[in-house]
Chains A and B, each alone.
Chain A
Amino acid sequence: MRYHTPSSFEDASALAAAATGVTRFLAGGTDVLVQLRSDLVTPDDLIDIKQIAGVRDITRRDDGSWRIGAAVSGAELAEHEALIAEWPGVVEALELIGSTQIQARCTLVGNLCNGSPAADSVPAMIAAGATVSVVGPEGAREITVEGVPTAPGVTSLGPGEVVSAVNLPPRGKGGGDAYLRFIPRTEMDIAVVGAGVSLSREGDTITAARVALGAVAPTVLLVEEAGAALVGSTLDDAALATLARAAEAACRPISDKRGTVEFRTHVAGVLARRAARIAYDRAGA
């Protein structure tokens, strides 16, 4: 195994593009190291991105949008009050990951690029309308978060492509987001279902909404019908019921040791409703 510490994303990309064996980027390592130790993935090239300048910066741009560096940890995100004020759902989703020790290392980008359909921060990022900045052999591009995962453990990133940052759009007035997951315990578990909701309201009426579901399909889902069910409503019972039905209808889960098809489908509707209520309250606050 070769361990690299490039000082720019271009170098990181070049290293990855030139590598011929199993290659992994190392952000927090909380997926990579676990996979290594349990003999699941033994990389030939391990490319640590943490020496690159700016990877741990959180920046609010003039237009109100945000840039979160690829190596910002859960703990760092959770201490950023201005970000929490605008995107509490994204922050709480990343914060749910693991324990205090894991929080010191885990990142949004690692969570996304690991490709798990149960990744907690991904539904929140998708609901938020987040994008990622990608550096590759062909140059830089920006893609939506929902465009990254393509199957369990697989992403749309091409050979040599590395994510340099997560971008969140301007929150604007009257916006709120929330993420909820269901786990049998209160901590240290993998989402059986996850639901992220982001919405904007004018007065009591919802003007825009995005709903994303985790752990109910091979990839995290952006459920457009669920978002549409909320727009124009005041989050009345009818809207919530339509939302739940749309969420349930979008589910294509598997039955496994963590939950059955019926349970996951039912709980997806429940969590979508509950997350929508929280987002709505936050948007009105």
Chain B
Amino acid sequence: MAFDEETNGFKVVGTRPDRPDGIDKVTGRARFGADVTAPGMLHAVIIRSPHAHARIVKINASRAEAANGVKAVVTRADFADGLEGENWNILENLMAGERALYDGHAVAAIAATSSLAARDAARLVEVEYEVLPHVTDVDDAMQEGAPVIREGAADGSVPAGMHPNVVRCHDSGHGDPEEGFAEADLVIEERFTTEATHQGYIEPHACLGTLGPDGRGELWCCTQGHWNVQKVCAALLDVETSKLRVTASEIGGGFGGKTAVFIEPVALALSRKANRPVKLVMPRADVFRATGPTASTSMDVKIGMKKDGTISGASGVFRCQGGAFPGAPMEFTAMCAFAPYALRHVRQIGFDVMTNRPKQAAYRAPGSPMAAFAVESVIDELCNRLGLDPIDVRLKNASREGTKASFGPSWDRIGLVETLEAAKEHPHFSAPLAEGAGRGISCGFWFNHAGETAVQLALSEDGTVQLSVGTPDIGGSRASMCMMAAEELGVPYDDVRTTIADTATLGYNEISHGSRVTYASGLATIEAARDTVKKLCKRAADKWGIDAEAVEWRDGCAIPSGPNAGDFDPMPIKEIASRMGQTGGPIVGHFEATPEGAGVSFATHIVDAEVDRETGATTVTRYTVVQDAGKAIHPSYVEGQYQGGAAQGIGWALNEEYIYDDDGRLQNAGFLDYRIPVASDLPMIDTVIVEVPNPGHPYGVRGVGETSICPPLAAIANAVSNAAGVRMQDLPMRPSRILGALKARS
């Protein structure tokens, strides 16, 4: 296989150099969202609804406006009118209109000369509410009589007769599952639920915005996608896009949650009113209450299996609650559910349900982890009852190149089977289990995305390289970009500096989402480097007086392509660069495109867990991630993504959840009671990188950031269920729930 060989003979790719942003981050020199100031800067505070659902009768800010140091107060009236579609949703979410739709919904904002003054003044804003009935549970929200979040929000995909809170529907599949169930030796149908979880990034949202009376502005913010912020802010403030320049700060975690816009237009609106720069830093409680957690779900999955392990039919209904706005990722939930398996009869239905909760935002592979939890739990139970090996059964039914995906297309080259085989061979899978421990297996799938991408690579006069990309670095991607540029140009890794350019410096770049960065910005970097190489060869050819086609690039030098081209000494990049001013001017390579061919990625996880039968406490004792990376540019950062997905999955499976009281208020808007795992909760997470190259990338790269969180919920639930001897169907599996299940069984 020529392509496979091509993706093996690398010099830089596949090594593990230090990340270029590492020293800045460990010394505190890196500048995050809240780390900048401007002369005359004001501090902003957002005032939020204490009610889950209420009509905003009146907002009286006159006392606040008169308070010491207060320079501006904004409400919904200070934003653009007449927006439609998602822009309207975003505005409605970041500043309530007629109604507060969830606990924490913004209703007004204040800018003052100090944050203390702003906080004091916030208490003087009088908001009169008329409290309305609310609903926060996905199943409750679909029941007759449930309070309607927004009349007329449903689109044409929703079957007639459903509650108005059901706003979108997805229905796909092929064959006839009933026929499949009839062929089965055992059919299991169960209901599963998962709670909303937050991405839990350490850095709260923060920005510094300036918008002058001339309509020109600057914005510094922590985001996964500053062109998107630019576009949204321009729309919500009714200014021209190019008049607003947006710079992305270093980012202290995003995991999808920073693909959305929550505060930047508010800072800009305050700045426009006060004619001063405005800094807005979200308190942690606001991050929990008002930035997007993932959807909570309620799912029914039915699978039929033959005695030999063949899955004869499968169907699922996936209800996803995404807060007070349309957009819960129910189509991804449905489409990912059965993706690992080649099925003759399969059908998946998804419902997008609105409730009085914050607008959900993307969280690593939105929807896929929940679907895998339901599907892979049923498969585990089928294996247990039929006495079958969980990996053999998955191998038997695995999707392969050419098989038809559960959601339609035929698979291109994919690596699911390779991950299953590697898992089977891994010592973990055959290691003896301690008394009372359980083992769980799960597969997982994510699509991966490409998206609009622009990159520029400029040569300095000393031959070093300045690479500008437009995708904020959320996982070590600058290191990978430096490596790919170095590989192509034949220069040392340290000679390349990668910068995340601002919106005025490069063409449009889509958000760092969909595990797209190393794939798409990487592909663009390689193409920009190849463009640069062409230009370098041309300079050498001109000097030598031969055709550009007769010059090749090797190990950082231009060389004649063969004996016929002439006999010249190799011309190093430094030499060409030092004379570029006299030989035709600056040498800059670039690439702009919307690449197609982001390869999908599959993973298989193995988990061992122990359950304390007297308290219901779970300990994850061993964890192995096996995932197809296509090609690991920087293996350490690929492993980091694998471990991170598993770690977040452990939190989601065991203890993380949004807890609402009967009054619809969030009970745990802080890291004390929103329990992400601490280091001592986790075992060392072992990783295996499988490389089945993606034909859609020059080096074979597939996105890796999201697939790693798809299997954990199911793998952990399977391990816990097998340890406890009782099937856990609701997440999180907090101790009280496990203890309850154990008691109910005995």
Q: Would you call B384 an interface residue if the criterion is a C-beta within 8 Å of the partner chain's C-beta atoms?
A: no
Q: Is the CB of A263 within 8 A of B681?
A: no
Distance A256 CA – B659 CA, assembled complex (angstroms): 10
Q: Determine whether the beta carbon of A184 is less than 8 Å from that of B667.
A: no
Cβ of A184 and Cβ of B735 under 8 Å apart? yes
Chain A positions 168 through 187: 1 when the CB is less than 8 Å from some CB of chain B, otherwise 0: 00000000000000101111
Residue numbers in B under 8 Å from A266 (CB-CB)? 739
Closest to B673 in A: A257
B732: nearest residue on chain A (CB-CB)?
A184
* Selected A-B contacts with CB under 8 Å, 6 pairs: A182-B617, A182-B735, A184-B735, A185-B675, A186-B681, A187-B680
A252 within 8 A of partner (CB) = no
Is A235 at the interface (CB under 8 A from chain B)? Answer: no
Is A263 a contact of B736 with CB atoms below 8 Å? yes
Q: Which residues of A are found within 8 Å of B616, using beta-carbon distances? A: 263
Interface centre among B615, B667, B739, B740 (most CB of A within 10 A): B615
The verdict on B2 contacting chain A, using a C-beta distance below 8 Å, is no
A257 touches which of B119, B668, B680 (Cβ 8 Å):
B668
Closest chain A CB from B32 CB (angstroms): 20
Does B672 sit at the interface, judged by CB under 8 A?
yes
**What chain B residues lie within 8 Å of A39 (beta carbons)?**
119
Q: Is the beta-carbon distance between B655 and A270 smaller than 8 angstroms? A: no
Extra 8 A-B pairs, beta carbons < 8 Å, given A39-B119, A186-B681, A187-B680? A182-B615, A182-B735, A185-B655, A187-B681, A257-B659, A257-B667, A258-B673, A263-B739
- Judged by a CB distance under 8 angstroms, whether B677 is at the interface is yes
Q: Mark B635-661, 1 if CB is under 8 A from A, else 0.
A: 000000000000000000011000100
In the complex, chain A residues whose CB is within 8 Å of the CB of B615:
182, 267, 270
Given contacts A190-B672, A257-B659, A266-B739, contact A184 B677 (CB under 8 A): no
Q: Would you list which residues of chain B between 712 and 746 have a CB under 8 Å from chain A?
A: 734-736, 739-740
B735, chain A: closest CB distance, angstroms? 6
Within the assembled complex, what's the spacing in Å between the Cα atoms of A270 and B739? 12
Q: What are the residues of chain A within 8 A of B734 when measuring CB–CB?
A: 184
Interchain CB contact under 8 A, A186 and B680: yes
Q: Which label, helix, strand, loop or mixed, suits the secondary structure of the B interface?
A: loop
- A1→B655 CA distance, assembly (Å): 39
Give 3 closest A-B pairs by Cβ, nearest first. Answer: A263-B736, A186-B680, A270-B614
Q: How far is the CA of A187 from the CA of B675 in the complex (A)?
A: 10
Interface size grouping (class) on chain B = 20 to 34
Q: Is the CB of B678 within 8 A of A185?
A: yes
CB-CB < 8 A to B617: which residues of A? 182, 184
Q: Does A188 contact B (CB under 8 A)?
A: yes
Q: Flag B661-696 by CB within 8 Å of A: 1 or 0 each.
A: 000000110001101011111000000000000000
Give the residues in chain B near A267, CB-CB below 8 Å.
Answer: 614-615
Judging by beta carbons under 8 Å apart, are A260 and B736 in contact? yes
Interface membership of A259, Cβ < 8 A: yes
Contact A186 B736 (CB under 8 A): no
Which residue of B is nearest A264, CB measured?
B736
Of chain B, the residue at the smallest CB distance from A99 is B678
Whether B668 and A186, one on each chain, are in contact in the complex, defined by CB atoms closer than 8 angstroms, is no
Is A31 part of the binding interface, using a Cβ–Cβ cutoff of 8 Å? no
Report if A184-B678 is in contact (Cβ < 8 Å); known contacts: A260-B736, A270-B614: no
Chain A 201-245 near chain B by CB (<8 Å), digits 1 or 0: 000000000000000000000000000000000000000000000
- What 1/0 mask marks residues of chain A from 24 to 45 whose CB sits below 8 Å from any chain B CB? 0000000000000001000000
Complex: A190 Cα to B681 Cα, angstroms = 15
Bound together, the chains give a CA A267 to CA B678 distance in angstroms of 23
- Give the residue of A182, A184, A187, A260 whose beta carbon is less than 8 angstroms from that of B655: A184
Contacts of A245-268 to chain B: CB distance below 8 A = 256-260, 262-263, 266-267
**Does A142 interact with chain B (Cβ within 8 Å)?**
no
Instruction: Report the minimum CB–CB distance from B729 to chain A (whole Å).
Output: 19
Q: Which residues does chain B contribute within 8 Å of A260, judged by CB atoms?
A: 736
Selected from B119, B681, B739, the residue in CB contact (under 8 A) with A185 is B681
| Docked complex Cα distance between A270 and B615 (Å) | 8
- Annotate B323-334 by CB proximity to A: 1 below 8 A, 0 otherwise: 000000000000
Q: Which A residues are in CB contact (< 8 Å) with B655?
A: 184-185
Q: Which of A188, A190, A270 contacts B678 (CB 8 A)?
A: A188
Distance of A96 Cα from B681 Cα, bound (Å): 15
A216 to chain B minimum Cβ distance, whole angstroms, is 14
How far apart sit A266 and B673, CA to CA, in the bound complex (Å)?
Answer: 21
A258, A259, A270: most-surrounded residue (chain B CB, <10 A): A258
B-chain residues with CB within 8 Å of residue A259 when the two chains form the complex: 736
A182 contact set on B, CB distance < 8 A: 615, 617, 735
Q: Give, as a whole number of angstroms, the nearest-CB distance from A282 to chain B.
A: 21
Residue of B617, B667, B677 ringed by the most chain A CB atoms within 10 A: B617
Query: Considering the chains assembled together, what is the distance between the CA atoms of A188 and B674 in angstroms?
Result: 11
Query: Given A257-B668, A258-B673, A267-B615, does the pair A186, B735 have CB atoms closer than 8 Å?
Result: no
**Measured between C-beta atoms, what is the minimum distance from B589 to chain A in Å?**
48
In the docked arrangement, what's the CA distance between A256 and B673, Å?
Answer: 11
- Residues of A within 8 Å of B614, CB to CB, are 267, 270
Most buried by A among B672, B734, B736, B739: B736
Known contacts A257-B673, A270-B615, A187 near B678 by CB under 8 Å: yes
Which residue of the partner chain, among B667, B672, B679, B740, contacts A189 with CB atoms under 8 Å? B672
User: How long is the Cα–Cα vector from A43 to B668 in the complex, in angstroms?
Assistant: 25
Closest to B674 in A: A257
Known: A184-B617, A184-B655, A185-B655. A263 touches B735 (CB 8 A): yes
A102 nearest CB across to chain B (Å): 12
Closest to A274 in B: B614
A189 to B675, CA, bound (A): 8
Q: What is the bound-complex CA distance between A209 and B264, given in angstroms?
A: 61
Q: Shortest beta-carbon distance, B732 to chain A, in Å?
A: 9
Cα(A270)–Cα(B613), bound, Å: 10
Q: A99 to B677, alpha carbons, bound, how many Å?
A: 14
Closest residue of chain B to A186, judged by CB? B680
Give the residue name and chain of the B residue nearest to A259 (CB). B736
Q: Which residue of A lies closest to B612 (CB)?
A: A270
> What is the minimal beta-carbon distance from A13 to any residue of chain B, in angstroms?
32
Residues 40 to 74 of chain A near chain B (Cβ within 8 Å): none
Query: Given the complex, which residues of B lie within 8 Å of A262, measured CB to CB?
Result: 736
* B282 CB to nearest A CB, Å: 15
Residues 577-597 of B at the A interface (beta carbon under 8 Å)? none
User: CA A190 – CA B674 in complex, angstroms?
Assistant: 12
B677 touches A185 (CB 8 A): yes
Q: Which of A184, A187, A190, A260 has the most chain B CB atoms closer than 10 A to its own CB?
A: A184
Per the bound structure, the CA–CA distance linking A267 and B735 in Å amounts to 10
Q: Measured between alpha carbons, how far is A190 from B735 in the docked complex, in Å?
A: 15
In the bound complex, CA of A32 to CA of B304 (Å): 59
- Nearest to B283 among chain A residues (CB) is A38
CB distance from B228 to the nearest CB of A (A): 33
CB distance from B660 to the nearest CB of A (A): 10
Give Cα A266–Cα B735 distance, bound, in whole angstroms: 12
- The smallest beta-carbon distance between B178 and chain A, in angstroms, is 41
| Most interface-central of A39, A257, A259 (chain B CB within 10 A) | A257
- Chain B residue at smallest Cβ distance from A273: B614
Beta-carbon contact of A184 and B675 below 8 Å: yes
A190 to B672, CA, bound (A): 8
Query: Chain B, 604-624, contact with A by CB distance < 8 Å: what is the 0/1 string?
Result: 000000000011110000000
Contacts of A190 in B (CB 8 A): 672
Q: Which residues of A contact B677 (CB under 8 A)?
A: 185
Q: In this complex, what residue of A is CB-closest to B670?
A: A38
Q: Give the residues in chain B near A185, CB-CB below 8 Å.
A: 655, 675, 677-678, 680-681
Residue numbers in B under 8 Å from A189 (CB-CB): 672, 675
B675: chain A residues within 8 A (beta carbon) = 184-185, 189
The closest CB in chain A to the CB of B616 belongs to A263
Q: Mark B427-457, 1 if CB is under 8 A from A, else 0.
A: 0000000000000000000000000000000
State the Cβ distance, A248 to closest chain B Cβ, in Å.
13
User: How many angstroms between the C-alpha atoms of A263 and B681 in the bound complex?
Assistant: 21
Cα distance A78–B735 when bound, in Å? 30
B659 partner residues in chain A, CB cutoff 8 A: 257
Kindly state the separation between the CA atoms of A189 and B655 in the bound complex, as whole angstroms. Answer: 12
